[in-house]
Amino acid sequence: MATIEIEGVTKRYPNGFLAVQELNLHVDDGEFMVIVGPSGCGKTTALRMVAGLEDITSGAVRFGDRVVNEVPPKDRNIAMVFQNYALYPHMTVGENIGYALRTRKVPKDEIKRRVDEAVALLGLTEWINRKPGQLSGGQRQRVAMGRAIVREPSVFLMDEPLSNLDAKLRVQMRAEVARVQRRLGTATLYVTHDQVEAMTMGDRVAVMKAGVLLQCDVPQTVYDAPCNLFVAAFIGSPSMNLFEAQMTEGAQAVVIGSQIIPLPDQVREKRPALRSFAHQKVVVGIRPEDLNTSDSYRADGQTFPEFHGVVELVEALGSDLLVYFSIDAKKVLVDSAFEHKADGETIVSAGRGGEGIARIDPHSLVTRGGAIQLFVNPLRMHFFDPVTTMSIAN
């Protein structure tokens, strides 16, 4: 077993493209670390540098106390699981799992022991003599994991291993992968573009964009306290509502379109830097689940401020309703925000006007085209600097 230490790692390609910039990440022995971000953010490149499949331009990768920059992949004692199962179609489950051990001339009785243990751990015992063509997608992915497990590596590296599975099977396999990793207690670096996978599987989540690590913390902290607009919008499903707004004198209230939301003292105590934004523009973030239609939505006996809109669309999910509504405020688009940061210039919203989404009780009476009265908890609101895109906190 070993820790993974990524110290100031940068990857610049010969054409000048900077794929990863000064990445610093520590994975404890036994920890499940997930790197998440959109396509092209550098997460797979980072994983491949850890694996030795990509050269490192600068920085260092350590397994425990050992620097492995110049160590060939085969000598790093790692095991990788890819989205492509790459199973040998002419071999049985047991033969596929034990293949790497046979090529290393491991004794037959040791191969059998390891294969039997992996098959039992993954629930593949009754399929051990079947070939890949006779297996489901989930079973094939388990075989791919078994092939990695029998090597008894010091480090597991997983590159979007569930992306080829259908939605229902992905949910099942998320739990399966996490269960197996915890049983084995091996340091694991897992790459995905799916933020739900990241939140449900990771001990910690590292969010990347454009080759830069933006935030790394336990999933709930990343969700509750996003460091900037990108993390706020990327983590959470549905995404956080982001509106252009203006602070009043002393941060007593925030104005979103024509609506004034009073801010209690607890908000200013939690975010003292808000006072410096008096009479200035800010970006306000409200998660869909922090909007509610019930006037019983209270905190310490205090009724929350109202937030009015017009219902545009209703999606019934059974467990709750997703209500898409419009308000007279500018919606902030995150991609636009990150591309539009001239010195001293505030974010210019793009697209249509204010559109929001609320996740509410499934028995709520709402109709398309009708008015909707929502209640918002100011303590659950998020505030961002429209120039730097960073969270307004201390």
Q: What is the pLDDT of residues 232-266, one digit of tens each?
A: 999 998 999 999 999 999 899 999 999 999 999 99
Alpha carbon 150 to its chain centroid, in Å, reads: 29
Q: Where are the domains of the chain?
A: 4-230, 234-384
For the cut 50, the answer to whether the pLDDT of residue 87 exceeds it is yes
Indicate the pLDDT class of residue 351, thresholds 50, 70 and 90: very low
What pTM was computed for the model?
A: 0.89
| Three-class DSSP category at 274 | helix
DSSP-assigned states of every residue in 71-87: S-GGGS-EEEEESS---
At 350 the pLDDT is 47
Say which CATH superfamily domain 234-384 falls into.
Nucleic acid-binding proteins (2.40.50.140)
Q: Does domain 4-230 have CATH number 3.20.20.140?
A: no
Q: What is the pLDDT of residues 226-236, one digit of tens each?
A: 999 999 999 99
CA distances from 68 to 48, 59, 285, 320, 324 (A): 13, 11, 42, 49, 50
CA-based torsion, 256, 260, 264, 268: positive or negative = positive
Count of beta carbons in the 10 Å neighbourhood of residue 188 = 28
